[in-house]
Structure formats: structure tokens, C-alpha cells
């Protein structure tokens, strides 16, 4: 094995320990981006917000909902891509080029733009994979259901066969996405370090290392899940103490999408806590991929090890 799966899994936490200041700066930057984009969205959505609020009461205006949703996504998608490129690059910079500290490793230039383009390409690849997987699973499910219904009790046999086929489809779908996710996980650090998008090269780098990489990523994601659960509990508690709308089902089905409701102590505190959680999540999730890339690259060429030392 060219790297330690356990060391890779905890690279994000080592990064936080080594650079608490930059991680705090990431949280602050994310909070500002979230606040500004949210306010701009609320101002742009305007009267269409009422359509979204009415959607949970059964008095939905389809045209209004589509208009509001279109405006929300028109801001949310670009902002999501920009923030992903910005903070992913910051984590790569902290792990792979720590001498370029700057303002908390944050920049917005060619490195970030290449990562944004890569994310778009990967999104298209996974959409294609999902489409093929759905078609294949659908065919298998249909064939199994027909075969099961050809038995003595056709109704019971068809239901049982459909259930088992659906369960098998979910498992196969998870396996497919896990496989492609791991095999393509080094596209980001490779694009950042080598300043080129080469999905084939990243795929070849992971050959023979699938299982330790999967183990490292699973550990990292489990830790992120714990962070999310703890953070959600803290946010819900503080929001309730400050008289906020809360995080219950009612707030999801009947949101009050107004600027006045957004600029409240509960929302401000929630945004701050969520931003800290997001900064930590970037470090914990992205850090292992940077670590694996560095170790595999160093094992390929001794001179690379000196460049990362």
C-alpha cells in the first residue's frame, strides 16, 4: 500500500489543527457569501415568495412556484460552483502547496476556475452514469417482476420479486456510485497541482488502491455525519432559544421567505454556526483526497516527494 488509509481519513483534522486561523477565515468567508447570496435571492424572488409559502397549504400557484424556483436556482447554482471551487482549492493549497498561505489560502484565479469546470464535467459524467444505471436497474426489475409473477401465485410472486429487485437495484446503484466516486476522487487534486484537467490520468492513479481509498473516505464521511448531527442539534436548540422559526417540518413546508424574517438573531446565529460546520466539512472531506494524491504521486516519482516535503 502506497499510503495509510487511516492517515488519509484524518488528514482534514490535522489540517484544522495546523491551520485554525485559515479555517476560521473560511467559515467567515462562507458566512458572508451565504448572507449576501441569500439576501440577493430574497430581493429578487420578491412577490413570488408567497407562491412558495402557499405551496405547503395546498393553494399553490404553479406559475409562481416555477418563477420563484427559477430565480433561486439561477443564483444558487453559480454560487454553489464558485464556493466549491474557492474552498476546495483552499484545502488543496493548504495540503499540497502550504507555502502559498496568503489570505487563509483563499484566492480566486485560474486554479479555482479549472476546478469549477472540472465539477461541471464530473456532474455530467455522474448524470450519464445515473441514467445508464437507472435503465439497467429498470430492465432487471421488470424482468424479475415478470419472472416472479409467472409462478403459482402471480400477485404475491410479482410483489416479492419487485421488492427484491428494487432492493438489489438500490445496492447496485450505491456500489456503482461508490466505485466511480473513488476512482474519480483524485481528479480535483490532480487538476489543482498539474494545472490541467485529465480525468484519465486521475483514474489510472487510483488503479489498485480502491479499497484503502474507500475505507479512508468512509471514515471521513462518517465523521462528517457526526459533525452534521451535532451541528444540527446545536442550531435547532439556539434557534429555538432565540425565537427563530426553527427547523421542524412546518418551517420546510411553510417557509417565511422574507428579508425581514431572514435578518433575525436566530437566522444570523444559525448562518454563523452552519458556516463553521461547512468549513470543517470541507477540510474533513477534501483533505483525504489531497493526502492520497500527494502520497501516490510521491511513490511514483521520488523527486515529487521532495516537492511536497
Alpha helices by DSSP H, the chain: 5-9, 11-18, 20-45, 49-55, 62-96, 110-149, 154-183, 187-194, 199-205, 210-241, 249-253, 259-262, 265-300, 302-308
Q: If DSSP codes are grouped into helix, strand and coil, which group holds residue 103?
A: strand
Residue 150's pLDDT is what? Answer: 55
105 neighbors 175 (Cβ within 8 angstroms): no
Residue 248's pLDDT is what? Answer: 38
Split into its structural domains, the chain has a count of: 1
Q: Grid coordinates standing for 243?
A: 425565537
216 neighbors 6 (Cβ within 8 angstroms): yes
Residue numbers of the domain that contains 79:
5-308
182 neighbors 210 (Cβ within 8 angstroms): yes
Taking alpha carbons only, the member of 273, 272, 259 closest to residue 39 is 259
Distance CA 285, CA 217 (A): 8
Q: What are the pLDDT tens digits along the chain (309 aa)? A: 578 899 999 999 999 999 999 999 999 999 999 888 888 887 777 666 555 555 555 555 566 667 777 777 888 899 999 999 999 999 999 999 999 988 999 999 999 999 999 999 999 999 998 888 778 777 766 666 666 555 545 566 666 666 666 677 778 888 888 999 999 999 999 999 999 999 999 999 999 999 999 999 999 999 999 988 888 888 778 777 766 544 433 343 344 555 666 667 777 888 888 899 999 999 999 999 999 999 999 887 655 444 554
Whole-model pTM: value is: 0.82
Amino acid at each position: 500500500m502506497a499510503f495509510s488509509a487511516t492517515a488519509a481519513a484524518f488528514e482534514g483534522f490535522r489540517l484544522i489543527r495546523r491551520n485554525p486561523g485559515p479555517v476560521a477565515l473560511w467559515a467567515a468567508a462562507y458566512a458572508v457569501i451565504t448572507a449576501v447570496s441569500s439576501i440577493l435571492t430574497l430581493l429578487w424572488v420578491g412577490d413570488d415568495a408567497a407562491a412558495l409559502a402557499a405551496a405547503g397549504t395546498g393553494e399553490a400557484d404553479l406559475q409562481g412556484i416555477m418563477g420563484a424556483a427559477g430565480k433561486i436556482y439561477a443564483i444558487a447554482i453559480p454560487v454553489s460552483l464558485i464556493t466549491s471551487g474557492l474552498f476546495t482549492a483552499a484545502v488543496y493549497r493548504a495540503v499540497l502547496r502550504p507555502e502559498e498561505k496568503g489570505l487563509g489560502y483563499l484566492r480566486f484565479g485560474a486554479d479555482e476556475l479549472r476546478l469549477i469546470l472540472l465539477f461541471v464535467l464530473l456532474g455530467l459524467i455522474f448524470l450519464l452514469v445515473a441514467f445508464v444505471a437507472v435503465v439497467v436497474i429498470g430492465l432487471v426489475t421488470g424482468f424479475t417482476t415478470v419472472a416472479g409473477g409467472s409462478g403459482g401465485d402471480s400477485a404475491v410472486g410479482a410483489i416479492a420479486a419487485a421488492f427484491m429487485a428494487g432492493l438489489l437495484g438500490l445496492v447496485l446503484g450505491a456500489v456503482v456510485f461508490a466505485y466511480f466516486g473513488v476512482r474519480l476522487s483524485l481528479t480535483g487534486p490532480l487538476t489543482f497541482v498539474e494545472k490541467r484537467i485529465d480525468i484519465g490520468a486521475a483514474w489510472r492513479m487510483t488503479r489498485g488502491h480502491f479499497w484503502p481509498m474507500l475505507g479512508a473516505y468512509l471514515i471521513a464521511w462518517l465523521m462528517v455525519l457526526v459533525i452534521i448531527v451535532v451541528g444540527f442539534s446545536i442550531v435547532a436548540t439556539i434557534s429555538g432559544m432565540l425565537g427563530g422559526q426553527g427547523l421542524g417540518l412546518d418551517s420546510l413546508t411553510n417557509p417565511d421567505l422574507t428579508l425581514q424574517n431572514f435578518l433575525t438573531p436566530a437566522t444570523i446565529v444559525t448562518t454563523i454556526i452552519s458556516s463553521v460546520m461547512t468549513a470543517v466539512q470541507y477540510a474533513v472531506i477534501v483533505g483525504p483526497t489531497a493526502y492520497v494524491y500527494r502520497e501516490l504521486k510521491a511513490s511514483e516519482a521520488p523527486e515529487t516527494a521532495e516537492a511536497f516535503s
